[in-house]
Structure 1
């Protein structure tokens, strides 16, 4: 029985622990360390549990004799905790808090997590629950500065954690991925950072727990093995039935034909040209495509037969640039997909195959340019039970280290995640408005003229974005404007602000080797040198590399350079930062080992060990830097990569350079949901897509010449309309992309249904500002999640666990976007726990059913659950144009409802000093009353008197949405509690 408990602080630093072989376990403060008597092969010899609070327990395991000393990049200091007890019960050592019980078997080290009633949340697999395999970083991954790498940095463990999982369990999180997968149960995901791919080491279960693992290396969820080439997984036969290979047929645009044998489809990367490591490259790469054959405009077919060695569901990974389709046994396994050649994509699909049976395969590929990419691999087959388990694999860490987080619901689990990784900030109010961007505004005149056109047309907007290459072409990284195109940057910023806009600017952690900022960082040893050694030139033709953001002093210099050249230089007139390529993206389309060589070694260790965490340390540089020089202005960062804990640096993420196709739009739905359910609250995307198919470009060019809307332009405009409708109901509302440009008047002329719909949803977004900004307050104070998979609010309804194209945006709006061309209706599932109202008509719908509902061109279906309160504010053209003196308060009856209206000054940090106000609003279904609490708190500029127009909606009184003059019950509110009886 435990007799002494020490209050200690859980900090970044992990203290080495050892216990004598004569002891079973040792208690020290809030840590319990167990020596495992029979760890088995590659099992853990030591297991340490750290009780963080009543619902969070940290688990560390090592195959060594002591735990390593290390510093966490994601965990923040924790409050002392001692309210737990330790008991021995047979072979188990039990740790009990008020909410959970953790059992550790002293012989095997197996761990079980139970709730206070004894029901199991999570149990490590009885066999192989924890394995730690010694790992040594390959020399080629350490880069040209290998001499700087201490021997201790080269060694660690590859570990795998495996847990049992019942058939009805569902999993979410893992970051943002592009395969239209939502519930990750039984699926595989490689976890690394790349353009369009964000990997977060956190998973959330519908059983009301989460797992956060403190590892920064390349990881895998699901199958721990790398994907295999087809010839390693199957017997291959060519199109005539000859064993050993597939048949590849290449036909160029002139009709020239080449037929050859293909033992695999692995044209997935470009190899380094001048590297001392080039001789070590593995087989594959685009250099294995036919030499002297023009791929651009060609048609390529790979065909033959696969023979599976076992019955099972085979998980395939398709990698592609250009147009591609895959057929198996004559059926379309992958419908046509497209991606531009400089930014290939991957797509996963699962196919059941029968042992010994030949399955016809046909891959049809139209490459996009003479440099293009294509690959098809398959995961090693696992038994279905094993495939359905929780499996987390980390390539290299000092030890196995994860946190178990329990809760009564998903929100409590995510709150636990933010307890560990840090509070999200209250993001600036303007960030919830509309942002206009493009790739790219090329002059200050374009910036000012675009914003002026929004104001002229009275289209709401808050933020305009300056993307890359505002600098002189050869001066990437000097953080200065090219004077011929931006002659007076301060005047440009003043003009933007005079038009009530905000200005965001792109800054990469990248420097050309010729600029002074590069040379300053390089003198201090803070530049990655592999790209320089290999004479890699980017697409503009110049050599350069990235700085080492893992060094705290390098981060200070990086910020100082930004401050001197941009922030302080222009009187703090830059409102936000676009931190592009923060993966870091030093070169596209390279093998994984070479990406590591390009981005290391870091100040903390090899890039193999720290592969995924660059964006969080880079975010720290800007957040801490700006707050140090201007503590009164809220920091806002938008980054292309993300990692656990980034919310504490006021950082949001967007989904990268996605393509402009319907399937890519659909993929953003599940991508954004899983990102948000990874505990990171602010996410957005390039509305309309970034990379554009040639057919859309040609259609716009034809329209510019003739004024004719051809079929491709018609589709383009509908796609843009649907994407902007979708974008209204996510945290960040931003349009961006390559040409054709995405200003609404450049998408379609005024009066066109696309134009009208985009503007209508923009205006709706601003009407929702009291609702949106209240949620921004909840994100900070209550650890709230704005973009919510249905499981967060309707767990227990078995129909909702894999619905990836409907979600709750806050507590009261279920958005149901349209993801297919020419669709004018769609199926919607209404969770059974509530009745539902159509937002636009007020019509009531019973829950627990699927219905096909109208989805005309101009709008997407949106529904409100009974027991909801939605505050609508005034029509505005920017977020702080008007105070919401009159709020039309829609109350959707049928159940009790609550809403907390949150307000503060919008752009500063006074909320941290308690300068904010809340009004609690409660609707009682039994009494048919709306009660307004006494206002709590105050702030400068606060409205002391306001009106609420209460609009009651019930199944007998539908009440169509009317934001201008709805009939309701007017309430004058001066800050005192008041209760209103509804008629």
Structure 2
């Protein structure tokens, strides 16, 4: 065993600090004012830098050429080493001070206010055990909550959890307890509820590993948590706060922001394995599915095409980049038929090439495969359907071959969306060798979770290369830190149960706090029996708020989960999905916010209300953006629901229009149609009117819902929704601010960008809890007041006060100016006094 208990030397190299101990040696960078890198190794020397996860670096990396369009090379903050007293050293990055103690050796991080936000466990900080496992121990306090860790089951707060980091094909996983799942993101947020300070820890290591967050206890040590890896460096990035919002933003500065997807990716994506497993006529069945959606007033924008379309005509095995001509006799016609209906196709592909695959020899000749431990043969391992070779995405040859076949069989049909599935590489022998950008120095066990991320990058690049103006839509099941730069993700093959509809929520929220803003779960459950009617309705009512929204199933009782599975309940399904489409402008603006800042789309309450300690453990209520609190009905047979409303805002029930003060638990009645939603004071939510298809329809009428009792702001984002033109500045940002006082509400609109908005008619729905306006002025024009709702409905310009909802309804033609104001005046008009 090697234990780092004593500092032997410390050398200032200006750009970094070198430390040697009697155990590990360290290299420390002050990457910026919020990020400190502490790279520790127990080897004789540091191995070359090799990271597919980092987009912000201050050193040369073997992946620099591949990552050149994404990576930002920065100059680290110069090291100024201070010896505060004998054996106590300190360096500072402007916001945080890293203290280094010589004997016993340990490090701690102090913020500007004197809070020790992180501290190694003295005498046991960095350890390599006799089995070669490497562990970083951190001392714990009494007031810590732990969030993130990527895709995990159970409640949001992972205190007292031990979690394994590994990619698995977790069919039918238990939403409360299963671990690990499909993705590996070795990052967490530590929130101290006593100091109200948060920070993050990212471990840049793709070996199998474990996080233990005070699950283990030893009487010989103070309370501790640890990260333990089977190999590689203890490469730790301290991510500063002090808020949880800050931590997520700084972490995504390091690993990348969420990719900007086509707007249509926010629509309902139909899917089921059933349709692509029919012996023939699969194409017609899927087209009929889209038509049936329309007949039932259910919006639909695409179909995730399961892998049955690749089945071999003779043996039924999956042969990717092959179309089964019995099931899909004319793939081009099939794609065109769906396109005419406003539905994209996202075909399923997988990285394992069966040895019976017609293209197996071609891939081998193109040097596309992972090699065996001796590096002289292509590695063969078990896969779905039999023995298979696996594409090596760390190899230029592997990426080139994969892209070529993807282009020839899929992209040339006009497809711009790819569904990467079964890409955990779980069954590949850990001793198999990969190319690693020509270095040929890595085993599969060291890079396993990276393969799926590079697979997503490869698909994204291939789509863009073939059709440079198309905005790629890539969906990935597995992934590592940084997967958000390329793909929308989902939590794999969940089980049909009430536990899943409930505990899938904190799984998505945890992914959002781990930098992956665009995530979802299969609605209705992928594996298991057909969901009962109530469960299905509640699942859809919850699923419409997930960034990825797809009803997808492979039920084990010979059933198919479709929106109209229960005709008596179809109206509830349709109403919920229509609500989703109404919120598309809000969702799209939140997607852009995630693209720029890294902010989650679905947010745990603690993200928005860190000062309210009652929400620190809340797992099931959440915020959609900053304006809308959602408290879905998640338990069978509920007729009442208790809902906690956070301190720091007032809350307006969108169903009853009742206003509640924050900091209390309320009880409301619910029925099968209930979707409890509460508008935060200061909320601004842009909504579409009568949107049924994002592909084919233009949003030319917008309704902005405003709760004006607190000064607020929101940025509405618009672009063409499908091209890469936004990268050249062809977008429109409308910064909306509200200012409230007893005499009125002033709403400012300020536009930036050269994209010509398609919105012709603007509607404002402004809550007026105290009284109706007496006058409404928009862009310096006084609007006519209508007292009759029917007359207002026919008007192009004007306003009307709805006494039931307490909303001032304002309509006007969208002004062709960059800046304008809407002013709702509340001066009391005296109709009685003769004075």
Report the TM-score, using the length of structure 2 for normalisation.
Answer: 0.83
* Cα 1:536/1:623, change in 2 over 3 Å: closer
1:481 pairs, out of 312, 323, 331, with: 323
1:627-680: CA deviations, max 9, x gaps? 22222111121111121011112x121111111111122221121111111111
1:212 pairs, out of 202, 216, 225, with: 202
2:592 pairs, out of 765, 777, 780, with: 777
Say if 2:496 is the partner of 1:496.
Answer: no
Q: Kindly state the Cα deviation for residue 85 of structure 1 after the two structures are TM-superposed.
A: 3.5
Q: Kindly state the Cα deviation for residue 975 of structure 1 after the two structures are TM-superposed.
A: 2.9
Whether the 8 Å CA contact 1:655–1:684 is kept in 2: the answer is yes
1:56 pairs, out of 28, 35, 40, with: 35
SS in 2 for 1:113: strand
1:746-800: CA deviations, max 9, x gaps? x211xx2x31111111111111111111111111122221111111011121211
Say if 2:222 is the partner of 1:382.
Answer: no
Whether the 8 Å CA contact 1:550–1:604 is kept in 2: the answer is no
1:44-66: CA deviations, max 9, x gaps? 2x222111111111111123443
Separation in 2, partners of 1:677, 1:527: 34
Separation in 1, partners of 2:292, 2:675: 27
Separation in 1, partners of 2:802, 2:53: 44
SS in 2 for 1:934: strand
Structure 1 counterpart of 2:149: 174
Structure 1 counterpart of 2:790: none
SS in 2 for 1:74: coil
Structure 2 counterpart of 1:557: 401
1:442-472: CA deviations, max 9, x gaps? 2111121111222233321111121012123
Structure 2 counterpart of 1:145: none
Q: Kindly state the Cα deviation for residue 488 of structure 1 after the two structures are TM-superposed.
A: 0.8
Say if 2:301 is the partner of 1:462.
Answer: yes
Separation in 2, partners of 1:502, 1:963: 41
Q: Kindly state the Cα deviation for residue 127 of structure 1 after the two structures are TM-superposed.
A: 2.5
Structure 1 counterpart of 2:512: 676
In structure 1, stretches of 5+ residues that fail to align are 1-20, 136-156, 225-314, 316-380, 587-593, 697-714
Structure 1 counterpart of 2:539: 723
Greater shift after overlay, 882-891 or 775-784?
882-891
Q: Kindly state the Cα deviation for residue 607 of structure 1 after the two structures are TM-superposed.
A: 2.1
Structure 2 counterpart of 1:230: none
Say if 2:747 is the partner of 1:906.
Answer: no
Separation in 2, partners of 1:211, 1:480: 44
Q: Kindly state the Cα deviation for residue 722 of structure 1 after the two structures are TM-superposed.
A: 0.5
1:647 pairs, out of 475, 480, 484, with: 484
Q: Kindly state the Cα deviation for residue 439 of structure 1 after the two structures are TM-superposed.
A: 1.2
Separation in 1, partners of 2:222, 2:270: 44
Structure 2 counterpart of 1:896: 711
Separation in 1, partners of 2:128, 2:744: 61
Whether the 8 Å CA contact 1:892–1:954 is kept in 2: the answer is no
Q: Kindly state the Cα deviation for residue 86 of structure 1 after the two structures are TM-superposed.
A: 3.1
Structure 1 counterpart of 2:12: 27
Q: Kindly state the Cα deviation for residue 181 of structure 1 after the two structures are TM-superposed.
A: 2.5
Structure 1 counterpart of 2:123: 127
Q: Kindly state the Cα deviation for residue 616 of structure 1 after the two structures are TM-superposed.
A: 1.0
SS in 2 for 1:902: strand
Structure 1 counterpart of 2:566: 748
Say if 2:738 is the partner of 1:923.
Answer: yes
Spell out the pairing of 1:269-348 with structure 2 (5 A cutoff): none
1:163 pairs, out of 121, 124, 138, with: 138
Q: Kindly state the Cα deviation for residue 393 of structure 1 after the two structures are TM-superposed.
A: 0.9
Separation in 2, partners of 1:205, 1:54: 19
Relative contact order (alpha carbons < 8 A, sep ≥ 6): 1 or 2 greater? 1
Structure 1 counterpart of 2:787: none
2:465 pairs, out of 619, 628, 637, with: 628
* Cα 1:811/1:387, change in 2 over 3 Å: farther
Q: Kindly state the Cα deviation for residue 960 of structure 1 after the two structures are TM-superposed.
A: 12
Greater shift after overlay, 800-809 or 526-535?
526-535
1:352-389: CA deviations, max 9, x gaps? xxxxxxxxxxxxxxxxxxxxxxxxxxxxx624897963
Separation in 1, partners of 2:364, 2:585: 48
Q: Kindly state the Cα deviation for residue 598 of structure 1 after the two structures are TM-superposed.
A: 7.7
1:545 pairs, out of 389, 395, 405, with: 389
SS in 2 for 1:25: strand
Separation in 2, partners of 1:755, 1:429: 26
In structure 2, stretches of 5+ residues that fail to align are 1-5, 56-70, 171-180, 192-196, 277-281, 774-799, 827-835
2:83 pairs, out of 82, 88, 100, with: 88
Whether the 8 Å CA contact 2:395–2:434 is kept in 1: the answer is no
Spell out the pairing of 1:746-895 with structure 2 (5 A cutoff): 747-749=565-567, 752=568, 754-895=569-710
* Cα 1:633/1:716, change in 2 over 3 Å: same
Q: Kindly state the Cα deviation for residue 81 of structure 1 after the two structures are TM-superposed.
A: 3.6
Separation in 1, partners of 2:106, 2:115: 17
* Cα 1:165/1:844, change in 2 over 3 Å: same
Runs of 4+ in 1 over 6 A off after TM superposition: 384-387, 529-537, 598-602, 955-966
Separation in 1, partners of 2:407, 2:532: 41
Structure 2 counterpart of 1:394: 229
1:576 pairs, out of 417, 420, 428, with: 417
Q: Kindly state the Cα deviation for residue 533 of structure 1 after the two structures are TM-superposed.
A: 10
Report the TM-score, using the length of structure 1 for normalisation.
Answer: 0.71
Separation in 2, partners of 1:757, 1:872: 20
Separation in 2, partners of 1:22, 1:614: 37
